[in-house]
A = this chain, B = another copy of it.
Amino acid sequence: MPEKKDFDVSVVALAGGVGGARLAHGLVNLLHPDQLSIVVNTGDDFEHLGLTICPDLDTVAYTLAGLANPGTGWGIEGDTFSCLEAIRRLGGSTWFRLGDRDLATHIVRTNLLRQGRRLTEVTHTLTTQLGIRHALLPMCDTPLSTMVLTDQGEMDFQTYFVREAFQPVVKGFRWEGIEEAKPTQEVMAAINSASLVILCPSNPFVSIDPILNLPGVRQALAKCTVVAVSPILGGKVVKGPAAKMFQELGVEASAANVARHYRGLLSGFVLDEIDTDLIEQVQQSGIAARAMPSLMPRIQERVKVARRVLEFGLELQAERKA
């Protein structure tokens, strides 16, 4: 927790799961809670066994609280699965791996939601209890489900991602509930008071786009310096289906194509040092580019990457003003 402000800037980070959580973890170590809000994708949220499960919110919260399981990218390190084994014995569904401690989050959240509290309020309660001082903001309070259109039909994201192990070939996406969905007032207030917005190294299609597609978000971002960090390094991802999705949608999986995906929105783009040769391609799209080591397995790398991304953003901001 930085007591004095290392950076004089107000930041919003848009994040999905593991990659987003890791960069957010770096950012919370450099920015005061007044300076940083983390807006998290809720398109992956789903009801399972009657419980409301928010995988991206939980991955970010567990990572910031130092509870995340680094091996899996989901759940709590050292968690046990006694309840899930008993659910199996009772004939319940077990393809979604719910650990005993992880379950507590879903039980408490579902109970608070049923009492009529908004997901934003519930998330505040849970993260505060976990000792997190920075705001984790679900992108919206009402359900907005990412549906994946595949060669095996349409399925919700967790079914595609977990049950089907992202093996079906992706043909596109649909957002169930997008007509009624709107960003929360907390999200809009955070963006409106931010000067720098960071698109974390999360899946562009299913983590960042759901946030960007909410009515009013792109317009509000126009006044900010927006910097994206590539989730694709050397044509591959650290975790998840982003590279596979690019290929199946007929686009080469490369950091340069991530930058193109966000074209019109970005001031700057961060790619991994392994992709230094792509800087020129990105610049040709009218986006400033910077290469740096961007793998963030441990807190040291997370803080280092966060610091360099913030510095890059502030430089771009200064140029913009000049």
Interface residue ranges, A against B (CB under 8 Å):
49-51, 76, 79-80, 82-87, 89-92, 100-105, 107-108, 110-111, 114, 125-126, 129-130
With a cutoff of 8 Å between Cβ atoms, the chain B residues found around residue A105 in the complex are 86, 90
Of all chain B residues, which has the CB nearest A105?
B90
Pick from B91, B101, B114, B125: contact of A83, CB under 8 Å:
B101
With a cutoff of 8 Å between Cβ atoms, the chain B residues found around residue A110 in the complex are 50
Of all chain B residues, which has the CB nearest A98?
B107
With a cutoff of 8 Å between Cβ atoms, the chain B residues found around residue A86 in the complex are 76, 100-105
In the complex, what distance in Å separates the CA atom of A268 from the CA atom of B30?
A: 78
Contact A50 B111 (CB under 8 A): yes
With a cutoff of 8 Å between Cβ atoms, the chain B residues found around residue A89 in the complex are 104, 129-130
With a cutoff of 8 Å between Cβ atoms, the chain B residues found around residue A51 in the complex are 107
In the complex, what distance in Å separates the CA atom of A84 from the CA atom of B103?
A: 9
Of all chain B residues, which has the CB nearest A114?
B50
Pick from B80, B102, B103, B111: contact of A103, CB under 8 Å:
B103
Of all chain B residues, which has the CB nearest A84?
B104
Contacts known (A91-B129, A92-B108, A107-B51); A101 close to B82, Cβ less than 8 A: yes
With a cutoff of 8 Å between Cβ atoms, the chain B residues found around residue A92 in the complex are 104, 107-108, 111
Contact B108 A49 (CB under 8 A): yes
Rounded to whole Å, the gap between the CB of A37 and the closest CB of chain B is 22
**13 additional contacts, CB 8 Å, given A49-B111, A83-B83?**
A49-B107, A49-B108, A50-B107, A50-B114, A51-B107, A82-B82, A83-B100, A86-B102, A87-B104, A89-B129, A90-B104, A90-B130, A91-B129
Contacts known (A50-B114, A82-B80, A114-B50); A87 close to B100, Cβ less than 8 A: no
Contacts known (A82-B101, A100-B82, A101-B83); A108 close to B90, Cβ less than 8 A: yes
With a cutoff of 8 Å between Cβ atoms, the chain B residues found around residue A82 in the complex are 79-80, 82, 100-101
In the complex, what distance in Å separates the CA atom of A305 from the CA atom of B234?
A: 74
With a cutoff of 8 Å between Cβ atoms, the chain B residues found around residue A107 in the complex are 49-51, 83, 87, 92
With a cutoff of 8 Å between Cβ atoms, the chain B residues found around residue A79 in the complex are 82
With a cutoff of 8 Å between Cβ atoms, the chain B residues found around residue A50 in the complex are 107, 110-111, 114
A-B pairs with lowest CB-CB distance, top 8: A86-B104, A50-B111, A82-B100, A86-B101, A87-B104, A83-B100, A92-B108, A100-B100
Of all chain B residues, which has the CB nearest A115?
B50
Of all chain B residues, which has the CB nearest A65?
B89
A–B Cβ pairs within 8 angstroms, 30 of them? A49-B107, A50-B110, A51-B107, A79-B82, A80-B82, A82-B82, A82-B100, A83-B83, A83-B100, A83-B101, A83-B104, A84-B104, A86-B100, A86-B102, A87-B104, A87-B107, A89-B130, A90-B104, A90-B105, A90-B108, A90-B126, A90-B129, A90-B130, A91-B108, A91-B129, A92-B104, A92-B107, A92-B111, A100-B100, A103-B103
Rounded to whole Å, the gap between the CB of A105 and the closest CB of chain B is 7
In the complex, what distance in Å separates the CA atom of A51 from the CA atom of B83?
A: 14
In the complex, what distance in Å separates the CA atom of A80 from the CA atom of B76?
A: 17
